[in-house]
Structure 1
Amino acid sequence: MNRLVGIAAAAIAATAVLGACSNDSASNHDMSSMTTSAVGSPPSTSAGGDTRAQAHNDADAMFAQGMIPHHQQAIEMSDMLLAKQGIDPGVVSLANQIKAAQGPEIEQMRGWLADWGVATTTAPGGGMPGMPGHDMGDMGGQGMMSEQDMADLRDAQGVDASRLFLTQMIEHHKGAITMAQTEVDGGKFAPAVEMARSIITSQQKEIDTMQQMLTSL
């Protein structure tokens, strides 16, 4: 009798051990499956892409593309004047001020366009490269001097050169202010909008100064 009881107890113990092994195996299988799934899943990526590219719009690109040659011409006009003799000291100071302000802005705008993958020059016919249907219109021509205007400034001397420079630069600045206001109204890239606001403020002050200079020459 004792022998039968022992055999029955051994059978029960064996059944319990087998059940436990089976549960451990199933548990291990589930964890392995979960681990494989977690490792095999690719990391999630943001659908937003490059924030620098997203932070601007067409108005920002057009502003930079138009303002770079506009600034370049202002610097060229200033260099013409500074190469002359007999120029009013106040006008000389203004020309140097224009160069000091607009040179760094050109480099800053070139950097933006490079970050955005946009050419610094416009496509033939005034459109923006890669942006069919977007015409620069008057954006790149606001206040720009013609070849004849530049030749007249190049040939002028003394007081006449000072007067001509001031007269031309007033119109040039007015064009820049119009372009900058367009950026303030429609731009998205905060640094470009900030630059546009600065241009409006600083160049309006320079216009006021130049108008006063003209009355004293």
Structure 2
Amino acid sequence: MRKTVLISGIALASTVLLGACSSNDSMSGTDHSSSAPAPSPSAQTAAEHNADDVTFAQQMVPHHSQALDMAKLVPSRSTNPKVVDLASRIAKAQDPEIQQMQSWLTTWGAGTSGMPGMTHESMPGMDHDMPGMMSADDMKQLEAAKGTEFDKMWLGMMIKHHQGAIDMAKTELSKGSNADAKALAQKIIDAQQAEITEMQGLLTQS
């Protein structure tokens, strides 16, 4: 009788133990299946940027926009074909850059105040916020000038304007994180430094 009870007890214990193992396996399988896949690295880096990238684009757009306004004054006022040619090249280079930076700001969900088409008068205080920006009075004096006087004034102002853009681009290189924005900053430095050298040469000839 004792032997029968003992065998029955062992069988019952084995059944309980097997059931527990089976339950643990099932729970373990559920845990593994519920874990979410890691996000794709490419999706994370696609629009990587920081506050300095946003500031660079938001400020460089109206800065470039004023350079375009200055370039548009040249054909009807300058008597120097080299100045006319330089102004045309500046406009052709900076207009696509404005569009590129606007696209970034849209992608980043950042504000786009001070976009192209705005005159300096509609951007009060901008000359204090960004290096190299001309004041409203500067622009009025430039608009009123003609011939050699205009050429000298325009070259002097554009040199100052370019130097301001270079300073802004250097800040982006040191503080920004977006690879495309930093590449544009370097492009601006290289191109506008070369144009400053060219303009300084033109000033000595005039």
| Runs of at least 5 residues in structure 2 that lack an aligned partner in the other structure | 1-18, 20-24, 115-125
Work out the CA distance in 1 between the residues paired with 2:165 and 2:187: 11
Per-residue deviation, 1:46: 2.6
Equivalent position of 1:108 in the other structure = 100
Per-residue deviation, 1:156: 0.4
Structure-to-structure mapping, 1:125-164, within 5 angstroms? 140-164=129-153
Work out the CA distance in 1 between the residues paired with 2:190 and 2:184: 10
Length-normalised TM-score, structure 2? 0.74
Which of 47, 57, 67 is the aligned partner of 2:50?
A: 57
Is residue 199 of structure 2 the alignment partner of residue 207 of structure 1?
no
Equivalent position of 1:189 in the other structure = 178
Work out the CA distance in 1 between the residues paired with 2:77 and 2:136: 23
Work out the CA distance in 1 between the residues paired with 2:143 and 2:163: 21
Would you say the 8 A contact 1:62–1:139 is kept in 2? no
Work out the CA distance in 1 between the residues paired with 2:78 and 2:160: 23
Per-residue deviation, 1:32: 9.9
Which of 65, 72, 85 is the aligned partner of 2:65?
A: 72
Per-residue deviation, 1:44: 3.2
Q: Aligned with 2:46: secondary structure?
A: helix
Which of 69, 80, 84 is the aligned partner of 1:88?
A: 80
Would you say the 8 A contact 1:67–1:140 is kept in 2? no
Per-residue deviation, 1:177: 0.4
Work out the CA distance in 2 between the residues paired with 1:99 and 1:145: 17
Would you say the 8 A contact 1:52–1:116 is kept in 2? no
Letter in 1 for 2:37: S
Count of residue correspondences: 181
Work out the CA distance in 2 between the residues paired with 1:151 and 1:189: 37
Letter in 1 for 2:112: T
Per-residue deviation, 1:120: 1.6
1:74-99 CA distances to partner (integer Å, 9 max, x unpaired)?
A: 000000122x1452000000000100
Q: Which has the larger radius of gyration?
A: 1
Q: Aligned with 1:61: secondary structure?
A: helix
Runs of 4+ in structure 1 deviating by more than 6 angstroms, as ranges, are 31-39
Letter in 2 for 1:152: Q
Per-residue deviation, 1:50: 4.8
Give the % identical residues: 42
1:21-42 CA distances to partner (integer Å, 9 max, x unpaired)?
A: xxxxx9xxxx999998888x48
